[in-house]
Amino acid sequence: MTIPAGIRTVRVKGRFRRPDGVPYKGTLTFQVPAIIEMDQAYTMVAGTATAELDENGEFSILLTATDQGDPSGWVYTVVLLLDDGTTRPFSLALPSDVAEVDLTKIMPSDPAQLNYVPVKGEKGAGMLSGAGSPTAADGATGDFWIDTASNVSWSLYGPKTASGWPTSGLPLGGGATWRVRDLPDPQIADAVYTGTPPTISTAPTSAPSTGWIKYAPDPVALSGTDRRGPYTWAGATNFAIGVGTPDSTYVRPLSRYPNTYASGQTNWSLEVGTDAQAIQLRFKHISATTMFRLSIDGRKITDLMQPSGGTVPNEGSTHLMTIDFGSAAPRRLRFDFSNMPFGGIYLPATANMWGTHLRGGRFMALTDSLGDGSALNVGAGCGTWVDRVGRMLGCTDIWREGRGSTGYIAPGGHATFGVRAEVDVIPHVPDRLVLWGGYNDASGDQAQIATAAAALFTRLKTTLPRCQIFVIGCWSPTGTPAASHTATTATLRTAAAAAGLPFVSPQTGGIYNAAGALVATHGPWITGTGNASVPKGDGNADFYVGSDTVHPTDAGHAYLARRIYAFMATVMPA
């Protein structure tokens, strides 16, 4: 496609080969961080551009330069994904005074240095830092200084002039825009829809009602009378189609590690507005794990995720879900999907569809299976405490970045929190982030856990300075926690205090503010020694812990959501 006149461009190219010279296959995705206004060209620039490696492992793509538009100072988030599973996220600035950039010359070679990748331009002002305010000997004219003496908030001084540094700095911090007084009533926010529920039926067919129009998601190809659906994605990004039939007609997001179509990012949501009396949702039924939850005007129709209605003989095939609301009226619809590839929505020719806006900021949870879901709860990651906490906070952009068996030092079958944060968290700039891990680390070395946690906390605070971050200690599914669990919680509490992050202990219910001071004690989260299959009558574990004696039940996730919400509200500004 042609970039409109008036927009300055830079060509980016590169070549990727294996050690034996065999060309790689793969993609590079260039993500714009927000909607960029190009007033000079009467154009908005947003979303992603993708370059595919050719048969020689090479690519070339013309992109919009980053030194133009509003807001200024933006850069691309680039994700490299090679066919052997290698992935690398980094940031890239493209000033327009450079006509062509070769990524193979500037891309960081050390995987531990996944930071800003500048294209060389004119020398600018420097950014210096140190504990305390700057002295006259520090820096040159035009430089800035960050005072890092406090572990709670930093201060910015500058620019330095010929007369010296300013006498005081500007506070830098989390930008705590979420305050307790601004939160909705959690009972109302997480309530079930009280209107007449719609009639829902599912059939294994790809043929819609006669005359109905398909609103296809991008990048599914349009055909005939198809229109592009104005869907608002929540909980994921970088949507792509699969290969072959029928996957080429369905989208799934690639924004969770390891960032491939078949990687299993099964939990995500969409919102859309329509005035139709009935709609037909096109999806691929995979298995009994293919589930959904419908919400109307901000209220969920059912508390738990629901089966798609597909059957075993038709697994892997196209289905249409017909939803009849009983009358034609403007509505805001939300679908939470679990393992349910989406192919669009059909509407009658007399109905319309429009986009909606997400509310409450971006809420994200970087977790293990406690946020990814297990066989003990319905709906995988969409059926955990994460969605409930998001709703109670008034947030509709809920990102479930959980991966089972992972942790601060435990990669499981995926990667550690530190590695995943570079791909799953930082590029997507959450406004609020909950970190809950440690259970899968507890059998490991506490010094290694401490080092990994400290590195992760520092990295997140540095790259996400306006994000409110909340840390939860090690999960204990019993009222008599193992010594390794309490030790891991103590290790994480120390690391959180050093990083200036609020913390809660599931073993004691102790809540600590960003300075590390105990501000409330709400009591242990889990009591007793039983579980849902073998109740002992000595605590709430009988109801909240599943038969595997580890993972929460549906009731357990509902309960944990209340405890986590209470923790977050306690440490938020009033």
Domain co-membership, 563 together with 482: yes
191 is a domain residue:
no
Domain co-membership, 113 together with 14: yes
Domain co-membership, 345 together with 491: no
More confident residue, 70 or 305: 305
At residue 229, the pLDDT reads 98
**Among the listed ranges 15-19, 175-179, 203-207, 452-456, which one has the minimum average pLDDT value?**
175-179
User: To 10 degrees, what angle do helices 446-463 and 483-499 make?
Assistant: 30
Under a CB-based contact definition with an 8 Å cutoff, are residues 251 and 217 in contact? yes
Under a CB-based contact definition with an 8 Å cutoff, are residues 409 and 335 in contact? no
Q: Is there a cis peptide before residue 427, judged by omega within 30 degrees of 0?
A: no
At residue 447, the pLDDT reads 98
Domain co-membership, 378 together with 334: no
Number of domains in the chain: 4
Domain co-membership, 74 together with 164: no
Is it the case that residue 238 has pLDDT exceeding 70? yes
**Which residues form the domain of 87?**
9-117
H/E segment holding residue 307: strand 306-307
Q: What is the mean pLDDT of the chain?
A: 92
How many Cβ atoms are within 10 Å of 534's Cβ, its own excluded?
Answer: 12
Burial 220-241 (b: 16+ CB within 10 A, else e): beeeeeeeebebbbbbbbbbbb
180 is a domain residue:
no
Which of the listed residues 96, 117, 138 is the one where a domain comes to its end?
117
Token reading at 545: 């812990």
Residue 445: give its domain's CATH number.
3.40.50.1110
More confident residue, 201 or 152: 201
Domain co-membership, 350 together with 490: no
Residue 51: give its domain's CATH number.
2.60.40
Scan for tokens 């600590």, then name that residue. 512
Distance CA 554, CA 230 (A): 33
Domain co-membership, 131 together with 113: no
Beta strands in 442-504 (DSSP E): 468-472, 503-504
Work out the pLDDT band at 370, boundaries 50, 70, 90: very high
Under a CB-based contact definition with an 8 Å cutoff, are residues 511 and 495 in contact? no
181 is a domain residue:
no
pLDDT tens string 283-335 = 999 999 999 999 999 999 999 999 999 999 999 999 999 999 999 999 999 99
378 is a domain residue:
yes
At residue 153, the pLDDT reads 61
Domain co-membership, 277 together with 323: yes
Domain co-membership, 77 together with 105: yes
Distance CA 365, CA 406 (A): 13
Please state, in angstroms and as integers, the Cα–Cα distance from residue 421 to each residue in 20, 75, 277, 317, 498, following that order.
Answer: 31, 19, 42, 34, 20
3-state secondary structure of 78: strand
179 is a domain residue:
no
177 is a domain residue:
no
Domain co-membership, 254 together with 382: no
Q: What is the DSSP letter of 442?
A: T
Q: What share of the chain is helix, strand, coil (3-state, %, to 5)?
A: 20, 30, 50
Q: ∠ CA 315-316-319 to the nearest 5 degrees? A: 80
Distance CA 221, CA 328 (A): 29
More confident residue, 113 or 82: 82
Domain co-membership, 350 together with 366: no
Could you tell me which residues come within 8 angstroms of residue 550 by beta carbon, excluding any fewer than 6 positions away?
A: 374, 439, 477
Which of the listed residues 117, 144, 159 is the one where a domain comes to its end?
117
Domain co-membership, 76 together with 43: yes
Distance CA 152, CA 525 (A): 27
529 is a domain residue:
yes
Is it the case that residue 107 has pLDDT exceeding 90? no
At residue 120, the pLDDT reads 59
At residue 116, the pLDDT reads 44
Token reading at 419: 């590695």
Is it the case that residue 420 has pLDDT exceeding 70? yes
At residue 174, the pLDDT reads 47
How many Cβ atoms are within 10 Å of 367's Cβ, its own excluded?
Answer: 27
Work out the pLDDT band at 179, boundaries 50, 70, 90: confident
At residue 29, the pLDDT reads 93
Q: Is there a cis peptide before residue 258, judged by omega within 30 degrees of 0?
A: yes
Distance CA 500, CA 514 (A): 4
CA atoms within 13 A on the CB side of 228: 6
Under a CB-based contact definition with an 8 Å cutoff, are residues 224 and 352 in contact? no
**Among the listed ranges 171-185, 289-303, 425-439, which one has the minimum average pLDDT value?**
171-185
Distance CA 496, CA 504 (A): 10
Burial 504-525 (b: 16+ CB within 10 A, else e): bbbbbbbbbbbebeeeeeeebb
Under a CB-based contact definition with an 8 Å cutoff, are residues 330 and 192 in contact? no
Q: Over the Cα atoms of the chain, what is R_g?
A: 25
Q: What is the arithmetic mean of pLDDT over 87-96?
A: 87
494 is a domain residue:
yes
3-state secondary structure of 429: coil
Q: Structure pTM?
A: 0.73
Work out the pLDDT band at 177, boundaries 50, 70, 90: low
pLDDT tens string 386-418 = 999 999 999 999 999 999 999 999 999 899 999
Token reading at 233: 């994605």
Distance CA 359, CA 397 (A): 7
pLDDT tens string 521-567 = 999 999 999 999 999 999 999 999 999 999 999 999 999 999 999 99
Which of the listed residues 73, 101, 117 is the one where a domain comes to its end?
117
H/E segment holding residue 436: strand 432-436
Scan for tokens 């198809």, then name that residue. 226
Token reading at 208: 């819609």
